Structures are given as C-alpha cells and as structure tokens.
C-alpha cells in the first residue's frame, strides 16, 4: 500500500501534469467504491479545471475551480495512470477515468477493486499529519492509548495521518524502539526520539524517491529502506534483521531496538 512518501511524490507529479486542465469526461467503471452516484460525480467535475492536487494523510485530493473535490484512497493495490484518450482501452482494471480537453487522461486502476473515491468529503476533525506531529502531541497520544503497541499506534490513521507498515518499521528502527513496546511505557526521552525520527525518516524517503523515481504516480519503491526490506539480512549497523508478525503486520526490526513494557 502506498504510504506518505509515495503519495507525496504522486501528488507532486499529478499536480505538475494536471493543474489548469479542463475536465471533459468522467467515467466510473463499477469497480472500487464511490460515495455518490456516477452521474453525480460526472456532473460535479465535467467542465471544471483542476486547481490543485495534494496528499491528505494516505489519500490524494483533487481540487477543482468550481469548489468540487475528489479524494482518492488507493488502498492496497490501486494506482494512478497518466495516459491519453486514445489509449484508454489499454487500461487494466480501471476504477475511474477522467479525460481533459487537451486529449490527456487520468485513471485510477485497481486489480482488486478496493480503491475508494469520495466526492466532496465532509469536513471532519483529521488526525495530525505525520510530518506535522509534535513531540507533545505524540506524548498525548501515547498517554491516551497506554496499552497499545507503539507500532499499532503509528499505523492508526485516526491518530496519525500517513504512516504505513514499511515506514513504521523504519521510524522505530531509527528511534531504536522495539515495535513490541507498549506506548504508555515509553519514557519521555524515547517519545522525543520517536518524534524526531518520524519526520526525519519520511523526509529522507521523499528525497530518495524524488531522485530515484522522479515521475512516479503509482507503485512502491523500497530499495533504500534500512530494515523493512525482504531478503535484507542486516541493518546498516550490522545487526541481524528479525522478521515477525506484530499487530497483524509483517514487521522487520533488530535487537538494537529497546523494548519498553
């Protein structure tokens, strides 16, 4: 599943390609989930221009100049495709296709059909974004969820927006905190280390993706990760990488990481 660094690059590239373009057609292909009738989606977007594309937590939001917004959650196997109207028939597993007046097109594809489209999402209190989370906010979350494993807390999108399984492992390794640690048992110095590790790891990954995969709008690239990588035997510091199922997630960590319980 795409995580914050991937989605940040997707949004940057989609914004660069699509901002200012006028929407000609919108077609929902009865795959995935849509919160309104397909005709309502089309009526809201056709004729409007794209004014912005932004990442929102683990979703991507498309803003139109008429006030409409379409928010896309790619779920596990979804992705964006930039193509042309003449190549739409080559798409595999399209969920929605949007064409523009210049002949270009955008699609969301998903072989499992789990991608979720939300037209004009209702305003709600959103969890703090992982890149904006303060140490005080993190301490409060640990206090409110004292019995939660720290990895599960990092993954809870209702608490922190944007972190997924791979980057939770990377962040916990960077902070040298075991994923099996109990949130309420973390001492202040460990919470501070975790608060520093979250933006450091995510920003470094964004930078790596910009260099390695500058045009990406789909897919996940993990070749630069330090512990969460199948087949990796050692961390950069030489410790053996342990692979274990924790909180129902395949987890990678090392014995360098302190356990708080």
Q: How far apart are CA 77 and CA 44, in angstroms?
A: 27
- What is the pLDDT at residue 11? 98
**Per-residue three-class SS string for the chain:** CCCHHHHHHHHHHHHHHHCCCEEEEEEECCCCEECCCHHHHHHHHCCCEEEEEEEECCEEEEEECCCCEEEEECCCCCEEEEEEHHHHHHCCCEEEEEEECCCEEEEEECCCCCCEEEECCCCCCCCCEHHHCCHHHHHHHHHHCCCCEHHHHHHCCCCCECCCHHHHHHHHHHHCECCCCEHHHCCHHHHHHHHHHHHHHHHHHHHHHHHHCCCCCCCCCCCCCCCCCCCCCECCCCCECEEEEECCEEEEECCCCECCC
pLDDT at residue 222, rounded to an integer: 96
> What's the pLDDT at 27?
97
- Residue written as tokens 């097109």? 105
CATH class assigned to 130-253: mainly alpha
Domain ranges of the chain: 4-119, 130-253
Read off the pTM.
0.94
Pick the closest to residue 99 from 36, 38, 42 (CA basis). Answer: 42
Architecture field, domain 4-119? Alpha-Beta Barrel (3.20)
Query: In angstroms, what CA-CA distances link 95 with 36, 90, 110, 137?
Result: 14, 13, 7, 37
Regions of the chain where pLDDT drops below 50: none
pLDDT of residue 118: 97
The pLDDT value given to residue 174: 98
- What pLDDT does residue 247 have? 85
Predicted local distance difference test score (pLDDT) of residue 206: 98
| Half-sphere CA count of 19, side-chain side, radius 13 A | 11
């Amino acid at each position: 599943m795409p995580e914050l660094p991937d989605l940040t690059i997707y949004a940057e590239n989609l914004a660069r390609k699509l901002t200012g373009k006028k929407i000609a057609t919108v077609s929902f292909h009865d795959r995935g989930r849509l919160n309104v009738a397909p005709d309502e989606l089309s009526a809201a977007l056709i004729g409007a221009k794209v004014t912005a594309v932004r990442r929102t937590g683990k979703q991507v939001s498309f803003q139109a100049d008429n006030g409409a917004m379409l928010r896309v959650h790619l779920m596990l196997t979804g992705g964006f495709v930039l193509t042309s109207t003449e190549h739409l028939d080559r798409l595999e597993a399209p969920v929605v296709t949007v064409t523009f007046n210049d002949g270009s097109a955008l699609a969301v594809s998903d072989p499992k059909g789990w991608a979720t489209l939300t037209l004009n999402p209702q305003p709600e209190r959103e969890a703090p974004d992982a890149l904006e989370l303060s140490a005080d906010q993190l301490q409060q979350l640990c206090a409110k969820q004292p019995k939660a494993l720290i990895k599960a807390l990092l993954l809870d999108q209702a608490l922190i927006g944007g972190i997924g399984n791979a980057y939770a492992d990377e962040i916990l390794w960077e902070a040298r905190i075991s994923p099996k640690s109990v949130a309420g048992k973390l001492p202040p110095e460990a919470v501070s280390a975790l608060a520093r590790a979250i933006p450091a790891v995510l920003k470094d990954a964004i930078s790596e993706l910009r260099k390695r995969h500058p045009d990406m709008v789909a897919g996940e690239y993990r070749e630069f990760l330090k512990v969460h990588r199948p087949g990796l035997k050692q961390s950069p510091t030489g410790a053996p990488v342990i692979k274990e199922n924790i909180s129902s997630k395949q987890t990678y960590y090392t014995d360098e990481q302190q356990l708080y319980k």
